[in-house]
Structure 1
């Protein structure tokens, strides 16, 4: 079984539905024989939000695609603002009955931050949103403690606090 840094294994599936219409995934997953497989989004989704980009991984032409280059480490205030903007886009689309995929490289942390913040926006308590992401995607989802701290603090407050260092 191939693992990434910090011991997190590749996901068992390319993406998982967290709540109806809102999916979370990565760019790779572990195939049935343990081999690393590319997770290619074609036209299964109406909107794809990518927090990591790799050529050949879609989405198909005509699929609404939003991209933000976010690291899997502490974020700057403008990056936290981008997380909020992307989560809001996902929430509006899901509420309109669209199928949305939020993905990052491994499908655990950056996508988990956007999805969990979207769930909070939809009315889920923070702890429930985190638990839902982990139970539907993987126990490895949101293993970046800084991202969990952002969620429990509130992204607006985290954005203000992270700006104090500048």
Structure 2
């Protein structure tokens, strides 16, 4: 089973487990090979999640994943917060986070810069808009993160 298929299958299972939880939102699912395979499930809620939220979903998800052959490899399951500098990956992320400051890392420099910082003011499915002016195609973007001021 391909990486994307695993992520999609786990996302569907997690969404089903969270459907009665109006307050907890599934943010992302990531299946990556580091030294071992890691299955990371990111959740959030207004005011932030706590360890009990993570543990509850982890236990339910582990039981569901053990029932079927959703994940073909041996893996480590992690359920956590996406963090305050979360990566924006999906269309719903770009819609939800409009009006917030983001860091955009490009594959190739644009006007001499590979890192752009600005307010996310638009998303049309193929590109994001920064500060109401600069349109950047998703194909040109390596990563978008919420900006953190220290």
- Which structure has the larger Rg over C-alpha atoms? 2
Task: Give me the TM-score of the superposition, normalised by structure 2.
Answer: 0.26
Question: Which structure dedicates a bigger proportion of its chain to strand?
Answer: 2
Could you tell me the TM-score, scaled by structure 1's length? 0.24
Question: Which structure ranks higher in relative contact order (CA pairs < 8 Å, sequence separation ≥ 6)?
Answer: 1
